[in-house]
Chains A and B, each alone.
Chain A
Amino acid sequence: MIVSPQLLILGAAVIGAGVLGSVFRRAGGRTPVGMALGAAGGALGSLLFMAPLDYCTFEAERETLDVIFGMLLVVAGMALVLAPASWISERLIRRQSLISESQITTGTFKHWWLAFPLLLPTLTILVLFLYYPSVETLRLSTKLSRLGARREVSVCMDNFTRLVHDAEYLDIVGRTLWISAVIVVLSMALSLLIATMAYLPVRGASIYRVLLVWPYAISPAVAGIIFLLMFNPAGGIINHLTGQWFGVKLGWLNDPKVAPWTVILASVWKSMGFNILFYIAGLQNVPKDLIEAGAIDGAGVLRRFWHIVWPMLSPTTFFLIVTNLTYAFFETYATIDYLTPGGGPLKSTTTMMYQVVQLGIRNNDMGKAAAQSIVLFLLVIGLTLLLFRSGERRVTYGV
């Protein structure tokens, strides 16, 4: 062992005592109690990941990278325990409610325990389909594991550390980011344009609106098949037309430079219906008198849009960015799989999500797939947090 477990626990306890002790002092509680609680919490937190891993990252033959990962896990475990602990104790000491103040609670249950049976159905589903699989994924990510195999082997953090050196994986991460970004931007920009036009008072507007939302009702797999038929290099209508009109036939599905764009096109088309729906609803909420006032003051169409409509739409835009990002990261799988099964020439359409399925299902390599799915999960969480931090300030929720 490079670092002894006892020393780690001791260090964690000291840090925990410091953190919670200072929280208690600031809030006006009794500092020694805080320090005692903090020491226990810090020690427990450091064990959160390290106990199941049996401190394998600190074994003598491990590399520096493993040790760094180990330290990060210790810190993460401590944070997971100490952060809620200090938040709760601060509120308790100051006698504040544990429920956020922005939520106005108008009624309370007659019996406090009544909440739990009511929550039971939801909790059951969450435990079965979310919490248990998540814990299992965490466990699998530290193993070498195959379905149907005789045994499982622990590999510590190898499934993660090898990703750091894996040029192909870093390529996939980069590709996922740019493909997702293009899908979100393109889909939302086009949707806003179309929604603005569909909102114009024209005859039969509701018919147009229904037709525009239609693609959203189609499953991603069907979208993939529709585009596969159109972009098929042998006998697809797109190449037939471009061949006739311009004398060019692009390798829509088998050219590594073009294939990602075909996937983007299909995904954008697929997600636009959803975005248009929300933008039309958003446009209906823009007060007419504001626009009229702008018009009377002599503002042109573009100026009215930029200074009145766009800011009023910002909550919708913000909501759509988050949902579209999730769509681009996770739900494009089926579209990719039908258009370019196997992840495209030179893996040009292999996104992180796609790679997870390839590894786990096609190659039956559950451990590496689990590790990659955790990386993907952390990435999306990080991006969403970043969006909420930077985006929310620019969002206007009222006039």
Chain B
Amino acid sequence: MKKLVFAALMFALVLALAVPASTIQAQDRTRVDVWIAFQDYRLDWTNEKAAEFNEMFPQYEVVITGGFSYEAVFAQVAVAAEQNQLPAVVQFFEAGTQDARDSGLFKPIADALAGRTEINGLPVDLEDFVAPVIAYYTLDGKFTSMPWNTSSSIMFSNMNFLRAAGIETPPATWGEIDAACEKIMALDNAPEYCWTFPNHGWFFEQWLAQQNALYVNNDNGRSARATEVAFNSEAGLAILKWLDDQYNKGYLYYSGAQGGDSWVTVDQSYQTQQVAMAVYSSSDTTLYTQMGLDNGFETVASFYPYNDETGWTGNLIGGATLWLVDGLDPEVEEGALTFLVYLTNTENAADWHKLTGYIAIRESANRLLEEEGWFDENPNQTVAARQLSESTVTPATSGALVGGFPAIRNVVTAAIDRVLLTDDDPAAVLEQAAADANLIIEEYNLLNAP
């Protein structure tokens, strides 16, 4: 009996090894693998869209794989590239742009489309995308990656606290935040802290851009390859000093989490009303508005607060785009392109915006939402788009292109961490951070520059 079981098991094992998985499923459809960096309701939405697409185009089978975070997917792609296991489409965050560009792994969308105005019967209109998005992702004069989720940094205020302190509109500047916090913290039922922020490099970059200051040299890496950071300026120092001041006064709550891990800590402290205000990405406008409704307070979104002394030039976009892998089979590439066009069509762009709070990336989607009366009903949802359209486009507000950006961000968040938690001189900390970041850029360019 035992022998029989053993023989059966061995047989099953041999069978499993001998019959490749691919032959088990029907293989008349072209498989298009898409890796994205979400695993929450945003992944569900994308899966829904992929299912719709697969029904519309039975010749393709789009398979979405969700990842833990932008940073994790970024690392995963580097490994996959080494092993020739890349999917057809990869979602990269804005900080990965230069690395993606240098890697030579991707094909510009414009090249793949080659001037076609429709693909598989779907109309293609790249000019319909909103201006800041086109500006960020047009590299070397070419539309490079497909915009999908674009956001800006904004501020959410718990109006229960603000109104109780006699403040009707959320503070717009650093000085106004300070004044508002003084009143809010003097309340009888004051929150534990006045405000918080995710210690993610992107927020430092936003404050820098607002002051029209560069992050890296060579016009933020847009006129030539960036070789040094430029954030160790008056503007950069002003940010550190201000954060330090807010922290020392007990206004600013810092969760200790850095980078991609910091988002959730801000969600928690805003939701539990530990803080009255939170600066955050507009990506979660829908969620933050709902958090207020669920917990009995009103959330009002407003522009990202700026330095009173230097004024406001504009804000950056953030988020991610979808990159098409180079060297795919022609059918796979065609399927991937068709899916990208489908995913970002007018209806889907509008739907995606409603679900999340990422801006509607198409002018036509914005018109559609306007006609539906969506913006009138949901004023919070207009903030990010307005902030971006009112921004003056300069090299500073176009965002930095620099290699090794994710590692540089880790250096910047570590510097903020140090400034907040120690008595070290912000100027010295900033200089050290700049030196560390310069080493990263130098080593990156040594290894990656073509």
Contacts and interface: CB of A to CB of B under 8 A. Distances in A.
Partners in one complex: yes
Contact of A340 (B99, B257, B444): B257
A144 B443 contact: yes
Contacts of A341: 257-259, 261
6 contacts: A150-B449, A152-B447, A251-B256, A345-B256, A346-B422, A347-B414
Contacts of A232: 268
B39 interface: no
Interface string B131-158: 0000000000000000000000000000
B83 to A, nearest CB: 10
3 pairs of A and B residues whose beta carbons are closest in the complex: A254-B256, A341-B261, A147-B78
Contacts of A358: 410
A99 interface: no
Interface string B256-271: 1111010001001101
A259 B421 CA distance: 13
Given A148-B81, A364-B75, A256 B414 contact: no
Main secondary structure of the interface of B (DSSP, over half): helix
A212 B421 CA distance: 38
Interface of A: 144-153, 232-235, 251, 253-256, 259, 340-342, 344-347, 358, 361-365
A344 B75 contact: no
Contacts of A344: 256
Interface in B418-450: 418, 421-422, 440, 443-444, 446-450
Nearest to A251: B256
A256 B410 contact: no
B448 to A, nearest CB: 5
B421 to A, nearest CB: 5
A347 B410 CA distance: 12
Nearest to B259: A342
A364 B78 contact: yes
B82 interface: yes
Contacts of A150: 102, 104, 447-450
Q: Among B82, B254, B257, B413, find the residue whose CB has the most chain A CB atoms closer than 10 A.
A: B257
B255 interface: yes
Contacts of A251: 256
A114 to B, nearest CB: 22
B443 A147 contact: no
B320 interface: no
Given A234-B272, A256-B421, A365-B407, A151 B256 contact: no
A232 B446 CA distance: 42
A148 B82 contact: yes
A362 B407 contact: yes
Contact of B447 (A144, A233, A254, A363): A144
B10 to A, nearest CB: 15
Contacts of B274: 233-234
Given A153-B446, A235-B268, A342-B261, A362 B71 contact: yes
Contacts of B406: 362-364
Interface string B371-412: 000000000000000000000000000000000101100100
A17 to B, nearest CB: 44
Contact of A362 (B75, B255, B272): B75
A345 B419 CA distance: 11
B323 to A, nearest CB: 13
A234 B269 contact: yes
Contacts of A253: 255-257
Contact of A234 (B268, B418, B449): B268
Contacts of B272: 234-235
A151 to B, nearest CB: 6
B77 interface: yes
B103 interface: yes
A233 B440 CA distance: 34
